[in-house]
Amino acid sequence: MDTEGQFKGAKVTVIGAAGGIGQPLSLMLKANFKVGKLSLYDVSGTVSGVAMDLSHIDTPAHIEWFTPKNGGLKKALTGSEYVLVPAGVPRKPGMSRNDLFKINAGICAELATAIAEFSPNATTLVISNPVNSTVPVFVEILKRHGVFNARKLFGVTTLDSVRADTFLHRIKPEMKWGLIRVVGGHSGDTIVPLLSTVLGTEMNKVPREKIQAVVHHTQYGGDEVIKAKNGGGSSTLSMAYAANKFFCTVLNGRDQFSKDHVGCTYVCLEDESINGVSELKGLLRTFKKDQNLDMKYFAIPCVFGQHGIERVMYECLEKLHPYEKEMVEICCDSLPGNYEKGLEFTRTY
């Protein structure tokens, strides 16, 4: 808060700001009156034009831009409270998110090192895919620099909730918007939409094939966008919308709003001092029927507060429909391999 009791505009950095997601995301951030300074960074010089364009918009956020030749990550990151990372390469037709890993893991490690050095207290939102593996890269690099805070590092999975909501509404238009929890991870069968969170007992009345179609559409919705763009990129506009939605949820937490401060995100489960983490890990053991399972990462609805995650809402996994239970079990089989890939990468980085 400033001396007049107003919330100070946040300083936000977007890394990869000239890209397909970076541009519309930066537009939405510029339109947000809670953003005081918007720092745009990209290895591409076109970021200067993006910054010039946005700087004509009549909102208070002050725009600045940087490239490796102009100030670099040091200037882009210093003093930043929030860092949003849509940097890296997107999928092309026929590619899985895992195919991106080799290139994007190196980019993420480089960016995490810079964040550790120049904005060690920042809250970081990782958009670069494959999120299931890039988030562990961020975590391990930040840990190496002694600045990791599990309450403030998020893999952005909001597009999965946005898609689940959209596709469920096509068959149940009367449902309330914005309540579906999507847990697990952010690729293929690790994406577990909990449609029962809005359908409740109705879940059994909707034909199973309709439920399965909504789930499948949510899990593989990104593929149809890539196909439709025909080599012109992956989900950029819906992703920018989703990233901005999640950012606003985190800001609502900072500003201690009592509503709209809950959102699903892919997080590291190492810090058991976070309310709900040990309960979540215990519950996940029951899905695998393995008392030794130590799930290290998981996407789960979180309550955000002044200092990031306040509570992990493990209870959303307590009363699942049998179909959802099956999906969580499948996710628990696939997910460790995904995050281990990120951990393995950092061992030799």
Question: Residues at the annotated binding site for NAD(+)?
Answer: 16-22, 42, 104, 127-129, 239
Please identify which residue in 10, 14, 19, 248 interacts with ligand NAI, judged by CB under 6 A: 19
- The mark string for 236-255 relative to ligand NAI (x by CB under 6 A, - otherwise) is x--x----------------
Residue 153 dihedral angles phi and psi, to the nearest 5°: -125, 120
- The mark string for 161-180 relative to ligand NAI (x by CB under 6 A, - otherwise) is --------------------
Q: Which is nearer to ligand NAI, 127 or 309 (CB)?
A: 127
Neighbours of 279 (CB within 10 A): 16
Question: Maximum CA pair distance of the chain?
Answer: 60
- Under rule CB under 6 A, which residues in 34-73 are in contact with ligand NAI? 41-44
Cα angle value 217/86/92 (rounded, 5°): 55
The residue annotated as part of the active site, out of 186, 217, 261, 307, is 186
Neighbours of 224 (CB within 10 A): 11
DSSP letters for 116-132: HHH-TT-EEEE-SS-HH
Q: Which is nearer to ligand NAI, 245 or 281 (CB)?
A: 245
CA distance 159 to 265: 10
Residue 56 falls in the annotated catalytic set:
no
Please identify which residue in 38, 50, 112, 127 interacts with ligand NAI, judged by CB under 6 A: 127
Annotated binding site: 16-22, 42, 91, 97, 104, 127-129, 163, 239
The secondary structure of residue 275, as a DSSP letter, is: B
Of 13-21, 211-219, 277-285, 336-344, the window that binds ligand NAI (rule: CB under 6 A) is 13-21
Of 81-89, 293-301, 305-313, 339-347, the window that binds ligand NAI (rule: CB under 6 A) is 81-89
Closest CA to 159 of 97, 236, 267: 236
CA distance 213 to 328: 17
Neighbours of 216 (CB within 10 A): 14
- The mark string for 185-204 relative to ligand NAI (x by CB under 6 A, - otherwise) is -x------------------
Cβ atoms 115, 83 nearer than 8 A: yes
Of 83-91, 142-150, 171-179, 338-346, the window that binds ligand NAI (rule: CB under 6 A) is 83-91
Query: Which residue, judged by CB position, is nearest to ligand NAI in the bound state?
Result: 19
Neighbours of 75 (CB within 10 A): 16
Residue 265: what residue type?
T
Contact residues for ligand NAI, defined by CB under 6 A: 15-16, 18-22, 41-44, 86-91, 100, 104, 107, 110, 127-129, 131, 156, 159, 186, 233-236, 239
